[in-house]
Amino acid sequence: MASDFNKVILTGRLAADPDVRYTPNGSEVAQFRIAVNRSYKTKDNPNDWQQETFFITIITWNRLAERVEKNFKKGDLVIVEGRLNIRSYEVDGVKKWVTEIIANDVKFLPRNRAKTDYPAPGEESGDNEPDVPFS
């Protein structure tokens, strides 16, 4: 029997400093959002590149939350590895849903990497998705 698999890896910039709180039993939890960009070609003009930004909530616990609180701030470029979590809650009888990433690890990415290090639109391999440089 195959088991389910839930793993997410994202890179992005912190949209704000982490918000740190403590549960009633004393566990530290840090929450922050990262801005994740996606570039794509339009159907009307294949040379016309568009970019959209998603803001994704990241949750860290205990030692990782402590490390995030001490070392990360707005604008930092990070890589997050974790799992997708979808939960619901009720406000005034209305059910609301939250989608977030529960992080297992958060690391800095090099700060000195300029945007110009990435290929310009049209220099990619010709696929609909741009090449992603890995080093």
Q: What CA–CA distance (Å, rounded) separates 131 from 36?
A: 16
**Greater model confidence, 57 or 114:** 57
pLDDT digits (tens, 9 = 90+) for 60-105: 999 999 999 999 999 999 999 999 999 999 999 999 999 999 999 9
Assigned domain for 119 exists: no
User: Where do runs of H (alpha helix) occur along 51-92?
Assistant: 62-71
Residue 121: closest CA among 45, 44, 43, 41: 41
> Is there a domain that residue 31 lies in?
yes
- Examine residue 46 and state whether it is found in any structural domain, yes or no: yes
* Residue range of the domain that includes 85: 11-93
Sign of the four-CA dihedral 59, 62, 66, 71: negative
Parallel/antiparallel/unpaired status of strands 77-91 and 94-108? antiparallel
Counting the structural domains of the chain, the total is 1
Over residues 107-129, the pLDDT tens digits come to 998 765 444 344 333 334 334 44
**CB atoms near residue 41 (< 10 Å):** 18
Confidence category of residue 6, pLDDT binned at 50, 70, 90: very high
How much is the pTM? 0.75
Q: Is 116 helix (H, G, I), strand (E, B) or coil?
A: helix
